[in-house]
């Protein structure tokens, strides 16, 4: 039986790759998608998500709009990496897909409580929707088997010297999710930034007859790593890697560490991951839950897993 998952996204080029991967993987069943403001404003996130579902030919997957801004602050766009529309300007047909009439938090709650199996929540965006869900409906904690949390960084950040975008956008929400009783695995910036797809695969995808495969190729071309290898590699998988963690856990190494979000001052939005060996004497242990953090991954095999799943659309 496939694993039932919910996706929480701010579709962006890499969220789009993650959605295509999830929809194309035979061991995953996507029950629904909640959208949150992040890479682009909420209405654009919903449009982008619907266009990705259209390209994949997906039916029966509700898409709902959620929080339009973080819990305490206004939404901030850092802007450039996903283009103005969030999908790097890829030309896609207009969507006629109807969004769910429910708020994303209500949709998540209903789908979790209605599922006969426990559900995995994969959050690839600022954590506002998920924090609201866990706060408004604490009963979901016993119905979720796991939260995959894309966000945070063990070393430097990407929006500030210290902070990763998803956590920086809504630090209070991120801390709320980290403190939830649901088992969490943090897929942070170090893992996020490593797997890339070979240019030859992306070229083959771009010329493909299936719209999902073609879209994956176009998206990969808009995700060039800023490294010396950028002539050979085009597509940073980014958020999509967090889905591969779910389908291929053997490709990843994790460690359990106390984690806390810095909410103040110059370090606001930083995810502090205490990797010191030995016992800690944290003064406020509730604020430093020990959660699993991805510390290493087999980048070549992760890329292969992605390519194989996208190729599956053609069969
Ligand atoms: C995260 O920020 C967004 O731009 C990406 O979609 C990803 O979820 C990485 O910091
Ligand atoms: Ca994202």
Q: What is the CATH number of the domain that holds 182?
A: 3.90.245.10
The set of residues, in sequence order, having a beta carbon less than 8 Å from that of 289 and lying 6+ positions away, is: 178, 179, 258, 259
Partnered with residue 315 across adjacent β-strands are none
Atom of ligand 1 nearest to the CA of 124: 8
97 to 5, 46, 59, 107: CA distances (angstroms): 21, 10, 10, 17
pLDDT at residue 279, as a whole number = 67
pLDDT of 281: 65
How much is the pLDDT for 285?
78
- Looking from the CA of 144 toward its CB, the CA atoms found within 13 Å total 28
Best residue among 238, 270, 271 to mutate for probing ligand 1, ranked by most atoms within 8 Å of CB: 238
Report the C-alpha gap between 52 and 15 in whole angstroms: 10
- Closest CA relative to residue 315, chosen from 57, 24, 74, 29: 24
Domain holding 235, by residue range, is 3-314
Answer yes or no: is the C-beta of 205 below 6 A from any ligand 1 atom: no
CA–CA distance, 297 with 173 (Å, rounded to integer):
27
Q: Which residues are placed with Cβ below 5 angstroms of ligand 2, an ion?
A: 10, 12, 15, 124-125, 239
- Please tell me the predicted confidence (pLDDT) of residue 77: 76
Series of mean pLDDT values for 10-residue runs along the chain (315 residues):
97 97 98 97 97 97 98 83 89 96 98 98 98 98 98 94 97 98 97 93 94 97 70 83 98 96 96 85 81 97 98 90
pLDDT at residue 315 in the model: 76
Look at residue 256 in the predicted model and tell me its pLDDT: 95
Nearest CA to ligand 1 atom 2: 165
Our measurement of the distance from residue 135's CA atom to the centroid of its chain's CA atoms, rounded to an integer in Å, reads: 20
- CB 239 less than 6 A from any atom of ligand 1: yes
- No. of helices (H) and no. of strands (E), the chain: 11, 11
CB of 190 sitting under 6 A from ligand 1: no
The total number of structural domains that make up the chain = 1
């Amino acid at each position: 039986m496939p694993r039932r998952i919910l996706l929480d996204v701010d579709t962006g080029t890499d969220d789009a790759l993650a959605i295509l991967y999830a929809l194309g993987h035979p061991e995953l069943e996507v029950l629904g998608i909640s959208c949150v403001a992040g890479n682009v404003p909420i209405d654009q996130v919903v449009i982008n998500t619907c266009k990705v579902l259209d390209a994949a030919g997906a039916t029966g997957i509700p898409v709902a709009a959620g929080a339009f801004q973080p819990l305490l602050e206004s939404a901030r766009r850092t802007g450039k990496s996903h283009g103005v529309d969030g999908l790097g300007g890829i030309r896609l047909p207009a969507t006629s897909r109807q969004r769910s009439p429910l708020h994303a938090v209500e949709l998540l709650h209903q789908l979790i409580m209605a599922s006969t199996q426990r559900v995995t929540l994969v959050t690839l965006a600022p954590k506002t929707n998920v924090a609201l869900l866990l706060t408004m409906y604490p009963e979901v904690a016993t119905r979720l088997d796991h939260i995959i949390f894309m966000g945070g960084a063990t070393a430097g950040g990407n929006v500030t010297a210290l902070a990763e975008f998803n956590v920086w956008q809504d630090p209070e929400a991120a801390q709320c999710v980290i403190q939830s009783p649901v088992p969490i695995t943090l897929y942070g910036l170090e893992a996020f930034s490593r797997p890339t797809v070979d240019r030859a695969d992306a070229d083959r995808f771009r010329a493909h007859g299936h719209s999902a495969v073609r879209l994956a190729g176009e998206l990969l071309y808009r995700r060039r790593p800023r490294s010396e290898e950028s002539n050979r590699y085009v597509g940073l998988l980014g958020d999509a890697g967090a889905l591969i963690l779910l389908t291929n856990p053997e490709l990843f190494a994790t460690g359990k560490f106390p984690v806390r979000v810095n909410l103040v001052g110059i370090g606001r939005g930083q995810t502090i991951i205490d990797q010191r060996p030995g016992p800690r004497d944290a003064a406020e242990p509730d604020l430093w839950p020990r959660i699993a953090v991805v510390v290493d991954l087999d980048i070549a095999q992760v890329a292969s897993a992605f390519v194989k799943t996208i190729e599956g659309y053609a069969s």
